[in-house]
Amino acid sequence: MRDSYYPVFLDIKDRVCVVVGGGSVAERKVLSLLRAGAFVKVISPELTKRLEKEKSKGRIKHIKRRYRKGDLKDAFLVIVATDSPEENKKIATEKPALINVVDTPELCTFIVPSTVKRGPLTIAISTSGTSPALAKAIRKELEALYGKQFGAYLTKIKRLRAKAIKEIKDKKERERFLKSLASAKIIKTLRGKQS
């Protein structure tokens, strides 16, 4: 297993992402891909109720069968979440550029971090596959530190930043203003507004 991974946030909007498996783990993965705007194909003989609902809404394409060699041909990103280690290993041998085999880091080209999402703010936590349980514990701690008010504040900053770029012509003054919006005092104030 690798000692560490290169952290990255991918733009997968309208990209073909394939999830092999239709159980509860696959469901979590599919929902996060949909939130990121991906075009999601699910390959599985069966789906959870929630995935069936997403299929009926036309939000996912369902290939109702087991995985077959060549199914990953057009995939930008692949997540393998079957309950068969043998099948998972077989799928990984197709070697798509970006593949995650759930709970098997040695077969992955990327791993999925534990995340805290607050509007535009995303905090990713990884132990490089060493301890997903510790990553989850740290995530829960960060969720308590960074409540929903951070997302709302960032939405305001987005508007203020756009306005500042147009209206504050002096580069140093603009930079000072933008830094003031992210001061330690502001962060402390936001934390004081925990709901």
Q: What is the per-residue pLDDT for 141?
A: 95
* Whether residue 107 sits in one domain with residue 155: no
Q: The domain that contains 107 carries what CATH number?
A: 3.40.50.720
Residue 107 · residue 89 · CB < 8 Å: yes
pTM, to two decimals:
0.79
Interval 136-195: pLDDT, tens: 999 999 999 999 999 999 999 999 999 999 999 999 999 999 999 999 999 999 988 765
Contacts of 171 (CB under 8 A, 6+ apart): none
Say which residue the tokens 């905090």 belong to: 123
Residue 110 · residue 129 · CB < 8 Å: no
Domain extent for 99: 1-112
| 105, 157: one domain | no
Question: CA 112 to CA 83: how far, in whole Å?
Answer: 18
Structural domains in the chain (count): 2
